[in-house]
């Protein structure tokens, strides 16, 4: 399952939990309120895990790109340098998007 799907499912779970928690609060049902709170927190956690996974992928891309660019520099290969820089920037972008 891709990360976008995981994040979306986490958000849906968070919203459902918040609604259930709110309804439980409104009608004075402590069990429903507690269940909703747990569901909301689980949804938030699911989103956080998906974000962390994307950040790790971004770090890998950034480091791999730097290595590729450095090797390209050492062997005087401009294409390899450019590809390395592109991967590095992609990795940084992925990390920033998932802060």
- For 86, which DSSP code? H
Domain definitions of the chain by residue range: 3-93
The pLDDT tens digits for 76-95 are 999 999 999 999 999 999 99
Rounded to the nearest 10 degrees, what angle do helices 30-74 and 3-27 cross at? 160
Query: pTM surpassing 0.85?
Result: no
The pLDDT tens digits for 18-77 are 999 999 999 999 999 999 999 999 999 999 999 999 999 999 999 999 999 999 999 999
Q: Which residue has the tokens 């920037």?
A: 89
Q: How is residue 42 written in tokens?
A: 């689980």
């Amino acid at each position: 399952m891709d990360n976008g799907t995981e994040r979306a499912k986490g958000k849906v779970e968070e919203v459902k939990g918040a609604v259930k928690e709110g309804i439980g609060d409104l009608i004075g049902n402590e069990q429903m309120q507690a269940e909703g709170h747990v569901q909301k927190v689980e949804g938030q956690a699911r989103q956080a895990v998906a974000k962390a996974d994307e950040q790790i992928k971004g770090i890998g891309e950034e480091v791999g790109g730097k290595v590729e660019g450095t090797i390209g520099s050492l062997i005087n290969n401009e294409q390899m340098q450019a590809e390395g820089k592109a991967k590095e920037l992609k990795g940084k972008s992925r990390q920033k998007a998932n802060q």
